[in-house]
Amino acid sequence: MAGALLDYSINCAELPDNTDLHYLLAYRVNPKLAEITNKYYDFEKYKKKQPRTLEMWINEYDGARIRVLYTFDDKSFEETIVDWLFNLRDFLISHKMDFNAFRRYVADLAFLAAHRSPGLFKDVEELLGILGCTLWIKSMKKGIKINEEDILRMLNNFAVSFDVKSEDVVRVTIKVTRGGKPVRNATVRITNIVQERGTRRSHETKLVTNENGTIMIPARKFSVLRVKVGSKEETLIVGSTDEVLGIDLGKRKTWIKIAVTLSALGALLTLFLLYLLLL
């Protein structure tokens, strides 16, 4: 799952008692917001387009009719995030939100942007730095222990929502290395697991890496891919886009071989000396 984000954690410094929030907002936060706005807002688009309006009636048959108007202005994902940032700032200025809550909600927007817009995520992350916070995004790309049944149910719900068919696949590239160097002719055992209509299904295959230590396989969208090379096993959550999984087998323990070789040579030398004494 591209990005495959699981959670995030945020660490914020406590502001000194004499912190001038007006200076912080006016001379640090606002310039960064202006930079983000100029980078992601398409102002020319709104000079040409008129917002669309959807009219709905609630409780139409209960005698208490309520007319609701929804306005759609065709904003991009980035433009919507920028609007929310300004709304949060206005909440803070109007004392409807305290400073710590403001930082937390900005972190929420950064987490949201991380999955859809890496560039915007970097900018919002810089804004968090201005606010005295550090953000860590936790990923579920690989190497985690998961409740596989829960994950399969979640992925099945995604598949149903996006009308995924059994023939809908993505390409997964598996790279096998040892100490950072590609391992060719490595045997890779692959199990692709899906859940359909409450039934768990799996497909197993065994392949060998090429000269570059890689193999490419098709995998079902929204599935679990279990990959095993020797005793090393990794789990990948497959989403709707192509994925890359790296498996490093670790460095060869050459010092053990050297120690065994020296020990064998020592034994041979001892036998040779005994042979000379017996002559």
* Whether residue 210 has pLDDT greater than 90: yes
Q: How confident is the model at residue 179 (pLDDT cuts 50, 70, 90)?
A: confident
Query: Which is more confident, 83 or 239?
Result: 83
Beta strands 199-208 and 5-12 are: unpaired
* Whether residue 75 has pLDDT greater than 70: yes
3-25 per-position pLDDT tens digit: 455 678 888 877 666 667 888 88
Where do the structural domains in the chain lie, given as residue ranges?
5-139, 148-248
Q: What is the pLDDT of residue 103?
A: 92
Lowest mean per-residue pLDDT among 85-94, 150-159, 177-186, 268-277: 268-277
113/8 Cα distance (integer angstroms): 12
* Whether residue 263 has pLDDT greater than 90: no
- What CATH class is the domain 148-248? mainly beta
Question: Secondary structure of the chain in the HEC alphabet?
Answer: CCCCEEEEEEEECCCCCCCCHHHHHHHHHHHHHHHHHHHHCCHHHHHHCCCEEEEEEECCCCCCCEEEEEEECCCCHHHHHHHHHHHHHHHHHCCCCCHHHHHHHHHHHHHHHHHHCHHHHHHHHHHHHHCCEEEEEEECCCCCCCCHHHHHHHHHHHHHHCCCCCCCEEEEEEEEEECCEECCCCEEEEEEEEEECCEEEEEEEEEECCCCCEEEEEEECCEEEEEEECCEEEEEEECCCCEEEEEECCCCCHHHHHHHHHHHHHHHHHHHHHHHHHC
Percent of all residues in the chain with a pLDDT value above 70, rounded to a whole number: 68
Question: What's the rounded mean pLDDT across residues 171-199?
Answer: 88
Top mean pLDDT of 109-123, 176-190, 244-258 is at: 176-190
* Whether residue 204 has pLDDT greater than 90: yes
Question: What's the rounded mean pLDDT across residues 67-78?
Answer: 68
Is-above-0.85 flag for pTM?
A: no
Q: What is the pLDDT of residue 124?
A: 94
Beta strands 169-178 and 243-248 are: parallel
Q: What is the pLDDT of residue 108?
A: 92
Nearest C-alpha neighbor of 53 from the set 36, 70, 65: 70
Q: How confident is the model at residue 54 (pLDDT cuts 50, 70, 90)?
A: low
Asked if 6 contacts 139 with a C-beta cutoff of 8 angstroms, the reply is: yes
Single-letter residue type at 1: M
119-164 per-position pLDDT tens digit: 899 999 999 988 888 888 765 444 444 466 767 776 777 677 667 7
